[in-house]
């Protein structure tokens, strides 16, 4: 929708025939984006051959499936086509960040990361939004920003794709923690503490991976963390809130088709941090609750009982 609003012709690839038909016939995607009316400039297809002649490819498949989709379609992708990563997450299977995984599959393609506080429905409905577009190649970053920027979608440039990616991947895990605290009615102080100490975890991991502090403090870091940790429309926050209210994860996920990336990223981010010998107690706690069936109250008590330490 952003690319179309900026004046581009847009082709959307989907595996789902019903979604394709809804977009082409009704200019809507009722299954995944109810309440947004899409530009007729957007057409959809299930054919990966459509990837052949694109000037830019925006990658939006959920993190645990993007690798498989790229593997299956890489023969259709020209090695000169710039790829813009919009997915937020770390692959469990390989432990790789999305940009690392993409580079393994498509080593020659130029790569950028587009990330920030961007609830899709607000973006599609043209509500004011600001994001980071990070690309190590400054002139390509400028060209991509110019192509995608529009009056309601303001793009700030950055040269730090790693920092932009880490912020987006880890904030989903912290948002689940904030949701749990809300579900448990533990108060606003606790949420502010989680956001701030969560940011500290994001910064530690981001710097260890080679990202820059100022990126982590910007739209794709602090900005997205703030949005997701404070809004009930966040799927990650909502998942945490349900758990905090006592709903079992299997029951919550039953019948849900949309992704809450923090569920998988809590595992992959925690493993990544362990491999780098970085202490990320909040992500660790969320991982234990989601994947090791840890008791929520005991996990919170353990977090609060950690030895005192200097703030910085």
Ligand X SMILES: O=C(CO)COP(=O)(O)O
Ligand Y SMILES: NC(=O)C1=CN([C@@H]2O[C@H](COP(=O)(O)OP(=O)(O)OC[C@H]3O[C@@H](n4cnc5c(N)ncnc54)[C@H](O)[C@@H]3O)[C@@H](O)[C@H]2O)C=CC1
From the annotation, which residues make up the binding site for NAD(+)? 120, 235
Q: What is the footprint of ligand Y within residues 113-172 (CB under 6 A)? A: 118-120
Token representation of residue 158: 């950055």
228's contact among ligand Y, ligand X, none, with CB below 5 to 8 A by partner kind, is: ligand X
* CB-CB contact of 176 with 262 (8 Å): yes
Per CB under 6 A, does 4 bind ligand Y?
A: no
Q: What is the footprint of ligand X within residues 249-268 (CB under 6 A)? A: 261
Task: List the beta bridge partners of residue 111.
Answer: 83
Q: Which residue has the tokens 């899409």?
A: 38
Measured torsion, CA atoms of residues 271, 176, 131, 274, in degrees rounded to the nearest 10 = -10
Token representation of residue 112: 């950028």
Confirm whether 171 is a catalytic residue: yes
* CB-CB contact of 160 with 134 (8 Å): yes
Given the complex with ligand Y, which of 32 and 156 has the nearer CB atom?
A: 32
Q: Find the catalytic residue in 41, 142, 171, 184.
A: 171
Given the complex with ligand X, which of 73 and 237 has the nearer CB atom?
A: 237
Residue ranges of the annotated binding site are 15, 32, 88, 116, 118, 120, 171, 224, 234-236, 259, 261
Measured torsion, CA atoms of residues 221, 149, 48, 17, in degrees rounded to the nearest 10 = 90
Contacting residues for 251 by C-beta, under 8 A, at least 6 apart: none
Q: C-alpha angle with apex 226: 221 to 232, nearest 5 degrees?
A: 135
65's contact among ligand Y, ligand X, none, with CB below 5 to 8 A by partner kind, is: ligand Y
Residue ranges of the annotated binding site for NADPH are 15, 32, 88, 120, 235, 259, 261
Given the complex with ligand Y, which of 71 and 188 has the nearer CB atom?
A: 71
Considering CB under 6 A, how many residues would be counted as binding ligand Y? Answer: 20
Cα–Cα distance, 210 to 202 (Å, whole number): 12
- Residues in contact with ligand X by the rule CB under 6 A: 88, 117-119, 172, 175, 224, 227-228, 234-236, 261
Interface positions with ligand Y (CB under 6 A): 14-16, 32, 60-63, 65, 69, 86-89, 118-120, 258-259, 261
């Amino acid at each position: 929708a952003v690319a179309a609003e900026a004046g581009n012709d847009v082709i959307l690839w989907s595996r789902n025939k019903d979604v394709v038909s809804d977009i082409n016939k009704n200019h809507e995607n009722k299954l995944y984006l109810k309440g947004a009316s899409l530009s007729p400039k957007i057409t959809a297809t299930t054919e990966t051959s459509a990837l052949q002649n694109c000037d830019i490819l925006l990658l939006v498949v959920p993190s645990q499936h993007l690798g498989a989709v790229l593997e299956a379609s890489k023969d259709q992708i020209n090695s000169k086509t710039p790829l813009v990563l919009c997915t937020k997450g770390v692959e469990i299977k390989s432990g790789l960040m999305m940009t690392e995984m993409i580079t393994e599959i498509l080593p020659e393609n130029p790569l950028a990361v587009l990330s920030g506080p961007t609830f899709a429905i607000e973006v599609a409905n043209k509500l004011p939004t600001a994001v980071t577009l990070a690309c190590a190649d400054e002139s390509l970053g400028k060209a991509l920003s110019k192509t995608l920027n529009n009056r309601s979608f303001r793009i700030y440039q950055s040269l730090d794709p790693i920092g932009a990616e880490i912020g987006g991947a880890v904030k989903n895990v912290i948002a689940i923690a904030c949701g749990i605290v809300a579900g448990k009615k533990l108060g606003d102080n606790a949420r502010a503490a989680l956001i701030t100490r969560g940011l500290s975890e994001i910064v530690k991991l981001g710097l260890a991976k080679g990202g820059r502090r100022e990126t982590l403090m910007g739209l794709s870091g602090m900005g997205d963390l703030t949005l997701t940790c404070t809004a009930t429309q966040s799927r990650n926050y909502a998942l945490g809130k349900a758990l905090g209210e006592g709903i079992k994860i299997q029951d919550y996920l039953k019948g849900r088709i949309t992704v809450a990336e923090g569920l998988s990223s809590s595992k992959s981010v925690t493993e990544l941090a362990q491999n780098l010998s970085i202490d990320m107690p909040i992500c660790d706690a969320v991982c234990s609750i989601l994947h090791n069936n840890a008791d929520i109250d005991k996990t919170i008590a353990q977090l609060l009982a950690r030895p005192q330490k200097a703030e910085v």
